[in-house]
Structure 1
Amino acid sequence: MRIDISLLPALAATFMLVFARIGAMVMLLPGLGEANIPVRIKLAIALLLTLVILPLHRAAYNIDMQSITALLVLMMHEIVIGIVLGATARVTLSALQVAGSVIAQQLGLGFVTTVDPTQGQQGLLIGNFLTILGLTLLFATDSHHLVIAALNDSYSIFAPGEAMVSGDVASLATRAFTAAFKIGIQLSAPFLVFGIVFNIGLGVLARLMPQMQVYFVGVPLSILFGFLILALVLVTMMGTFLEYFIGVMHQLIPSR
């Protein structure tokens, strides 16, 4: 009995190429690519996804085992695609940080910072709260499955070996950043209105009663009313964010 193992080198090379795309994406994904997630966990998830995706798209790779340069170029191509996909999903989460920063400034809490567990660095308290809540909702509603679907359909958008159109990538990045900033401002719109009305009221009060220490009266009231507004609009805010995230993921899944 003779076993043909001539296909093993090509299969191993294909596995590494698929792993390069998936691994680069996993390292940037919201919830999975965070700084506090152990590297072994990230590698395990990337390997598991590779084992799932490899049989589906193995035929898309044309491996030339005679040229190491071609393999290296193809691997760099796969890594760039993974970074583009992961960064697109990551940028969507930054909309909550933008909203949190605006809300904190309007409530007078711009100086209150804590360690952001998703970034491993200092961040505004309200922004960190919204980010953690957004991540929780993404997993609670199974919206992270759309990321895996986008990874699977990325082979029809960015076929292995085909040159990436820089204009398309730049357009995707530009739309992702602008949409994140726009959604962040829209989420914080009630607090912008509140900040304008409240500060105008304080200005009028200061003119009518110059002897009153407006600052010491205004800051506690601003925080109190701000948290009341946050409690009222939080459900709507997070629902809008989920719709935005799902819409971005569907843009990466053209076949669905």
Structure 2
Amino acid sequence: MIAQAPNLDDLLGIGGIELQQVFDLGLVFFLHTLRLSAFFLSAPFFGAAAIPLQARIIISITVSAALFGLIEVPDPNSLPFLAMIRVVLVEVAIGLAMGLILTILFSSVALAGEKIAASAGLGFAAQVDPNSGGQTPVVSQILNLFAIAVFLSLNGHLYCIAMIRMSYEILPLGQPFAFDQLVGAGLDAAGHMFAIASTLMLPVVSLLLLANFTVGVVTRSAPQLNLFSFGFPLTILACFFALYFSTTPFSLAIRDMIDFMFIFLEDSLMDAG
């Protein structure tokens, strides 16, 4: 007896699911990953150059799979092509804006490190930073790594994913939002960056100011002393001692900064929604 060849409908059907349904499911999943992928591209730690692109893709797909079914997604078949393009651009804009706001606020630590290095005479001790693409003082990179360690120890990466989940409730997928509010939030974040950096660097810079004042008094009373051979080593040594003894207060200040970052981002999303 000759077996009957399967027809085209049997080949296109997979366990009762038609091929068109598979395409629609893939498109819906693609819409889930847009905001996450854009956020991981620009967010602190996730957007670092040290994180491989393959790891970001895997994380985006994994988190999107975990959120799949929990987010309301418009029917792809009911949207025309131009409307679909608008939804894609809106999702990418929201993810990039959220990540950039956190990155701007997180850059306060690097800015504080640059000012500390300049005050201590360590501005020449710089190396190429792969994240910024330019030369950054070593003190700034050390403080940045310290801030990342505090960020991870406080489960900041999990809070980032929770913020993404909450953003879908405030700014639903495919719905218009006040983009100018997010732009204004980015500008406000730049102002807060300088304020936070000033708070972080103030204790160390104040001690360095006292050290420079002491060097000035000593060199004024004993002009025969060489400023370069006496003042610079003392200032650098005072900087190292200040950074060592300010480790605990600095970690507490970074904890407060991280809390402020997420509160500021939540308020920005509420204003945009």
TM-score with structure 2 setting the length = 0.85
Show the counterpart of 2:6.
none
The change in CA–CA distance for 1:116 and 1:72 in structure 2 (over 3 A counts) is same
Letter aligned with residue 258 of structure 2: F
Show the counterpart of 2:108.
95
SS at match of 2:128: strand
Q: Rg larger in 1 or in 2? A: 2
> Residues 106 and 191 of structure 1 are in contact (CA less than 8 Å); yes or no, is this contact kept in structure 2?
no
1:185 aligns with 2:194: no
Show the counterpart of 1:165.
178
Letter aligned with residue 192 of structure 2: A
Q: Report the Cα offset of residue 117 of structure 1.
A: 5.0
- Long gaps (5+) in structure 1: none
Show the counterpart of 1:153.
166
The alignment-based identity, stated in percent, is 23
> Residues 211 and 238 of structure 2 are in contact (CA less than 8 Å); yes or no, is this contact kept in structure 1?
no
SS at match of 2:223: coil
Letter aligned with residue 248 of structure 1: M
Deviations 1:159-200 (A, max 9, x none): 222223133112311222222221111110012212332223
Show the counterpart of 2:36.
22
Stretch moving more, 37-46 or 116-125: 116-125
> Residues 10 and 65 of structure 1 are in contact (CA less than 8 Å); yes or no, is this contact kept in structure 2?
no
Show the counterpart of 1:106.
119
> Residues 150 and 254 of structure 2 are in contact (CA less than 8 Å); yes or no, is this contact kept in structure 1?
no
- Long gaps (5+) in structure 2: 1-9
Deviations 1:63-91 (A, max 9, x none): 34552111111101100011011112222
The change in CA–CA distance for 1:213 and 1:249 in structure 2 (over 3 A counts) is same
d(CA) in 2 for partners of 1:246, 1:66: 39
d(CA) in 1 for partners of 2:30, 2:128: 35
The aligned runs of 1:52-201 (5 Å cut-off) are: 52-57=66-71, 59-65=72-78, 67-116=80-129, 118-119=131-132, 121-201=134-214
Show the counterpart of 2:49.
35
Tell me the number of residue pairs that the alignment of Structure 1 and Structure 2 aligns. Answer: 254
Show the counterpart of 1:250.
263
